[in-house]
């Protein structure tokens, strides 16, 4: 386990992790960017409120992506099932 120093919204945080430090920094940079966007659209001096708004926005994106992925997986399974039926029919006709 190592400690990676990151900075988000002007604050330094030591993060204890087994992840690659560059990846952790990439995550911190992403959060920093999202907080800056949230601060522009909802100016406030309340850093905790800004962090919560940012977390909600990121979580919303995650949930939407997860739902889209789940829907795509369902579509893929349905297509595979249809292909299997077509192959079965073709094999039956070939006999």
What integer best gives the mean pLDDT of the chain? Answer: 88
Q: Which residues pair with 13 in a beta bridge?
A: 6
The domain limits of the chain are 2-94
Alpha-carbon distance 62 to 67, whole Å? 9
* Digit-coded pLDDT (tens) for 19-45: 999 999 999 999 999 999 988 888 777
Residue 53 main-chain phi, psi, to 5 deg: -60, -45
Alpha-carbon distance 76 to 82, whole Å? 10
Task: Name the residue among 28, 73, 34 with its Cα closest to residue 52.
Answer: 34
* Digit-coded pLDDT (tens) for 45-83: 788 889 999 999 999 999 999 888 887 777 777 777 888
The alpha carbon of residue 50 and the mean position of all alpha carbons in its chain are separated, in whole angstroms, by 19
Give the H/E segment covering residue 50.
helix 47-94
């Amino acid at each position: 386990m190592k400690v990676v120093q990151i900075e988000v919204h002007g604050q330094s945080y030591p993060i204890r992790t087994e992840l690659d430090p560059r990846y952790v920094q990439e995550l911190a940079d992403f959060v920093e960017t999202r907080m800056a966007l949230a601060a522009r659209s909802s100016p406030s001096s309340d850093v905790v409120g800004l962090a919560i708004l940012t977390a909600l926005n990121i979580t919303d994106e995650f949930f939407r992506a997860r739902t889209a992925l789940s829907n795509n997986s369902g579509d893929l399974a349905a297509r595979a099932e249809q292909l299997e039926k077509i192959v079965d029919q073709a094999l039956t006709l070939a006999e």
